[in-house]
Chains A and B, each alone.
Chain A
């Protein structure tokens, strides 16, 4: 796929200006490129969507159908979905995930925007070192802090609580937020803030009234990416919680005992997985521009 793609890269420049120009290629090859392109596009779509389709497929099967590998459920049924919503453990896990994600994201945005502003705009010594330290947090393997946190939380009574998960998730989310927000803050023209300062505002007021509103898209992006991260977090979730009262969805799914009696809980696990993924996919569809902008903030700037 490499070579045709490379040739097509060249054509992009031309196609933009003159959609039907073909001066670079002879007429006999004009149809090959689009076809190959569409083939590649189809491949990409299948590659990306198929496993997710398979998940939905399995979630609609029960009983002996689960042991067959049919591409379409022979007898589609919503039993699995019904049973997971009747499963108090699952609904509680959903509630926990939503709550913990929401609170962590809110806190990350508040703390992170403060820190990002300081890093992007204010002058103080050793900024580079500080940024390096903050970013280095993102490289921590969570396992390294799992056992100490377990012991610490046990002593402090934070084991199996929301706070017990919010705090470490916040630590990992902050660098991400700071990095993204700092990039966005830097995009805002300094003149606007300087005008505010001249008018008698303090730095903090300038931050609150001028920079934040303009960086709203950045906040949305950072918030979304943080939320995705927290929602996904697994290792700390299984280490620091043990019961439905605080367990988040990834941990609950991994240990799903299922509500069916004999069944392999694959059907219900898949249904649960679909239920959790659909909102994420919806968010992705709505906010794809934001998410991509956030993900690529580093790539383009950095």
Chain B
């Protein structure tokens, strides 16, 4: 790096010292990051794809054979895969939707609560700060049949649900998982939306009020549209996270009772069943699905990213 700098210093300087030297510097500065990313993301994905085309023997060590797309056809024709796919999308949809609504509510509240705002912001970050693994363990304890807080509380309050073995039954297990995820990330959404709320100029609201707009109209016509970028960004991050979720179902239920997600099923084939080919195929499929969704989102947000990249 120092050699490059020295070389550059010898060049004529000026307001337009851009061009080749700039490009070279850019390349040098980007190099470390790109190497790491290529090595650890690109190469393994390629390797995973290769592995997905093979079949390793469970009976003889080291023995393997090329299997073409057999693993893929097996994966795509197995009901477990489609269950996992459905579960993942259902979970993501409901979870993100709830987080959005609750997050929006919390953000509006925090925007309003002038005095306690700092405390609220800290409080609201606590769920986000708690480890995902810890979250799963906590909620598992709360819903332990008969002894956990939830069944006991429901029983004492005489509400239905005291007898349900929450984590032991579909669809309740998924419900608990959604609850845990919403608890953990609604605050995160709230913060993102709050930031968006805070840049909406008051004058807009004042003007609208002068024009006689009701609160609901002000919300729909001013707040929501201006929040759109913030909401979209929050949606992207959260949706992609939700589609890839692993920690929560793994610790909460090990995937039982309708909580198996795509990542989980891939991991199970890889680790428990030692079917490397099939597991890799499932991993690659998961990867493609997530990328597809990301691509769709980026199209929606495309303009903004372009702005970030090209503004000079």
Q: Which of B67-75, B91-99, B131-139 contacts the other chain? A: B131-139
- Interface 0/1 of B240-271, CB less than 8 Å to A: 10011011001100000000001100110011
- Cβ-closest chain B residue relative to A71: B149
Q: Which residues of B contact A170 (CB under 8 A)?
A: 36, 40
Contact of A174 among B33, B109, B138 (CB under 8 A): B33
Smallest distance from the beta carbon of B136 to chain A beta carbons, Å? 8
Does any Cβ of B come within 8 Å of A32's Cβ? Answer: no
User: Please, how many angstroms separate the alpha-carbon atoms of A149 and B270 in the complex?
Assistant: 13
A139-B108 CB under 8 A given contacts A111-B33, A127-B310, A300-B196: no
- Cβ-closest chain B residue relative to A252: B133
Please state if A197 and B283 are interface contacts (CB–CB under 8 Å): no
A69-B132 CB under 8 A given contacts A144-B45, A152-B47: no
Please state if B188 and A8 are interface contacts (CB–CB under 8 Å): no
User: Please, how many angstroms separate the alpha-carbon atoms of A115 and B44 in the complex?
Assistant: 22
Please state if A253 and B137 are interface contacts (CB–CB under 8 Å): yes
Smallest distance from the beta carbon of A229 to chain B beta carbons, Å? 11
Contact of B122 among A135, A288, A295, A299 (CB under 8 A): A288
Please state if B5 and A273 are interface contacts (CB–CB under 8 Å): no
Does any Cβ of A come within 8 Å of B172's Cβ? Answer: no
Please state if B27 and A41 are interface contacts (CB–CB under 8 Å): no
User: Please, how many angstroms separate the alpha-carbon atoms of A184 and B234 in the complex?
Assistant: 19
Please state if A114 and B33 are interface contacts (CB–CB under 8 Å): yes
A45-B120 CB under 8 A given contacts A6-B215, A281-B129, A301-B308: yes
- Cβ-closest chain B residue relative to A298: B233
Does any Cβ of B come within 8 Å of A60's Cβ? Answer: no
Please state if B25 and A123 are interface contacts (CB–CB under 8 Å): no
- Cβ-closest chain B residue relative to A273: B134
> Which residues from 1 to 40 on chain B have a C-beta closer than 8 Å to any C-beta of chain A?
1, 4-5, 8-9, 13, 15, 17-18, 21-23, 25-27, 29-30, 32-34, 36-37, 39-40
Please state if B280 and A186 are interface contacts (CB–CB under 8 Å): no
Q: Which of A73-81, A84-92, A199-207, A215-223 contacts the other chain? A: A199-207
A143-B286 CB under 8 A given contacts A118-B26, A134-B37: yes
Please state if B199 and A300 are interface contacts (CB–CB under 8 Å): yes
Q: Which residues of B contact A239 (CB under 8 A)?
A: 267, 271
> Which residues from 170 to 200 on chain A have a C-beta closer than 8 Å to any C-beta of chain B?
170-171, 174-175, 178, 182-183, 186, 194, 197-198, 200
Does any Cβ of A come within 8 Å of B312's Cβ? Answer: yes
Please state if A16 and B202 are interface contacts (CB–CB under 8 Å): yes
Please state if A146 and B309 are interface contacts (CB–CB under 8 Å): no
Contact of B36 among A148, A174, A292 (CB under 8 A): A174
Smallest distance from the beta carbon of A267 to chain B beta carbons, Å? 10
- Interface 0/1 of A269-302, CB less than 8 Å to B: 1100100110011011100100110011011111
> Which residues from 20 to 49 on chain A have a C-beta closer than 8 Å to any C-beta of chain B?
24, 37, 40-41, 44-45, 47-49
> Which residues from 34 to 68 on chain B have a C-beta closer than 8 Å to any C-beta of chain A?
34, 36-37, 39-41, 43-45, 47-48, 51
A41-B120 CB under 8 A given contacts A148-B47, A292-B191, A300-B196: yes
Q: Which residues of A contact B290 (CB under 8 A)?
A: 139-141
User: Please, how many angstroms separate the alpha-carbon atoms of A148 and B304 in the complex?
Assistant: 34
> Which residues from 130 to 160 on chain A have a C-beta closer than 8 Å to any C-beta of chain B?
130-149, 151-152
- Cβ-closest chain B residue relative to A131: B309
Of B121, B194, B195, chain A has the most CB atoms within 10 Å of the CB of B195
Does any Cβ of B come within 8 Å of A52's Cβ? Answer: yes
Please state if B195 and A228 are interface contacts (CB–CB under 8 Å): no
Chain A residues with a Cβ closer than 8 Å to the other chain, count: 118
- Cβ-closest chain A residue relative to B101: A2
User: Please, how many angstroms separate the alpha-carbon atoms of A258 and B34 in the complex?
Assistant: 42
User: Please, how many angstroms separate the alpha-carbon atoms of A119 and B51 in the complex?
Assistant: 35
Please state if B280 and A147 are interface contacts (CB–CB under 8 Å): yes
Does any Cβ of B come within 8 Å of A244's Cβ? Answer: no
User: Please, how many angstroms separate the alpha-carbon atoms of A119 and B23 in the complex?
Assistant: 11
- Interface 0/1 of B202-232, CB less than 8 Å to A: 1001100100000110110001000001100
Does any Cβ of B come within 8 Å of A128's Cβ? Answer: yes
Please state if B130 and A280 are interface contacts (CB–CB under 8 Å): yes
Please state if B29 and A115 are interface contacts (CB–CB under 8 Å): yes
Please state if A235 and B310 are interface contacts (CB–CB under 8 Å): no
Please state if B142 and A295 are interface contacts (CB–CB under 8 Å): no
Q: Which residues of A contact B142 (CB under 8 A)?
A: 51, 54
- Interface 0/1 of B75-96, CB less than 8 Å to A: 0000000000000000000000
Please state if A250 and B33 are interface contacts (CB–CB under 8 Å): no
Please state if A288 and B229 are interface contacts (CB–CB under 8 Å): no
> Which residues from 63 to 121 on chain A have a C-beta closer than 8 Å to any C-beta of chain B?
67-69, 71, 110-112, 114-115, 117-119
Please state if B216 and A174 are interface contacts (CB–CB under 8 Å): no
Contact of A9 among B33, B47, B218, B240 (CB under 8 A): B218
Q: Which residues of B contact A44 (CB under 8 A)?
A: 106, 109-110, 120, 123-124
Please state if A122 and B108 are interface contacts (CB–CB under 8 Å): no
Q: Which residues of B contact A146 (CB under 8 A)?
A: 267, 270, 283
The 7 A-B residue pairs whose C-beta atoms are closest, nearest first, are A296-B195, A148-B44, A145-B44, A148-B47, A7-B215, A171-B40, A69-B152
Could you list 6 A-B pairs, sorted by A, with CB under 8 Å? Answer: A9-B111, A9-B223, A141-B262, A202-B9, A266-B137, A302-B308
Q: A178-B33, A183-B308 known; 5 other A-B pairs, CB under 8 Å?
A: A1-B105, A55-B138, A186-B308, A273-B134, A288-B122
